[in-house]
């Protein structure tokens, strides 16, 4: 299937630490992905980003005589924020801001996103209206470490499946099952 020559397809492949944006210079049945931008997130493990032990606080009733003294433990730990996971989420938000801005600027007409389920879930909250309109497919798979050729094959399969779907008529019906 050959798309209109003026329809620009972008493919964004990402996870919480790396993002690749490709432009398809080929056709739907013969994709030729050209890397147009690469983003890396310098995000060390949480243990390297956190210097202190988790905060602690005194339990109510701790250390007093009476019934509460047997129940209360005296001190409790406060759950620490996982800075590594927080930075992954922020990275995805920044990427979605970029894709939303590019959609507003009409730099692409169609978009395919490929990312692990968790990353796609974080990204969905950030989709702008123009990006949603251009979003053609989401693939919940971690492919950021695959080669460009492997990603091209995935894109080719996605677009072939889209082309095989029956098209709806202007009346909102399609094919023999519409009767």
What CATH number has the domain bearing residue 119? 3.30.420
Residue range 105-143, pLDDT digits in tens: 999 999 999 999 999 999 999 999 999 999 999 999 999
Q: Examine the pLDDT at 158 and tell me if it is beyond 80.
A: yes
Output the pLDDT for position 53: 57
Domain count for the chain: 1
The values of phi and psi at residue 138, to 5°, are -120, 130
Residue 74, sorted as left (phi over 0), alpha (psi -120 to 50) or beta, turns out to be left
Output the pLDDT for position 152: 97
Q: Let me know if residue 21 belongs to a domain.
A: yes
Mean pLDDT, to the nearest integer, of 147-176?
Answer: 83
Task: State the Cα–Cα distance between residues 27 and 149, nearest whole angstrom.
Answer: 15
Q: Let me know if residue 123 belongs to a domain.
A: yes
Q: Dig out the tokens for 127 from the structure.
A: 């989709």
Q: Examine the pLDDT at 78 and tell me if it is beyond 70.
A: no
Task: State the Cα–Cα distance between residues 143 and 171, nearest whole angstrom.
Answer: 38
Output the pLDDT for position 55: 54
Q: Let me know if residue 111 belongs to a domain.
A: yes
Q: Let me know if residue 131 belongs to a domain.
A: yes
Q: Dig out the tokens for 72 from the structure.
A: 């209360």
Residue range 41-61, pLDDT digits in tens: 765 454 455 556 555 556 565
Output the pLDDT for position 80: 60
Instruction: Give the global pTM.
Output: 0.72
Output the pLDDT for position 60: 60
Output the pLDDT for position 50: 55
Residue 15: how many other CB atoms lie within 10 Å: 20
Q: Let me know if residue 142 belongs to a domain.
A: yes
Output the pLDDT for position 133: 96
Output the pLDDT for position 97: 97
Residue range 6-48, pLDDT digits in tens: 699 999 999 988 999 999 999 999 999 999 999 997 654 544 5
Q: Let me know if residue 148 belongs to a domain.
A: yes
Q: Let me know if residue 41 belongs to a domain.
A: yes
Q: Let me know if residue 2 belongs to a domain.
A: no
Range of the domain at 17: 9-45+79-164
């Amino acid at each position: 299937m050959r798309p209109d020559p003026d329809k620009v397809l972008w493919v964004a492949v990402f996870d919480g630490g790396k993002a690749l944006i490709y432009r398809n210079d080929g056709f739907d049945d013969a994709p030729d992905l050209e890397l147009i931008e690469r983003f890396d997130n310098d995000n060390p493990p949480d243990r390297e980003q956190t210097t202190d032990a988790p905060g602690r606080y005194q339990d109510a009733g701790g250390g007093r005589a009476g019934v509460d003294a047997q129940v209360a433990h005296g001190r409790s730990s406060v759950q620490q924020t996982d800075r590594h996971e927080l930075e992954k989420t922020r990275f995805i938000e920044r990427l979605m801001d970029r894709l939303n801005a590019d959609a507003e600027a009409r730099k692409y007409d169609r978009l395919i996103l490929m990312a692990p389920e968790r990353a796609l879930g974080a990204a969905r909250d950030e989709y702008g209206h123009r990006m949603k309109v251009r979003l053609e497919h989401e693939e919940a798979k971690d492919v950021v470490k695959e080669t460009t050729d492997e990603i091209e094959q995935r894109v080719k399969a996605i677009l072939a499946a889209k082309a095989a779907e029956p098209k709806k008529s202007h009346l909102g019906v399609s094919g023999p099952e519409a009767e």
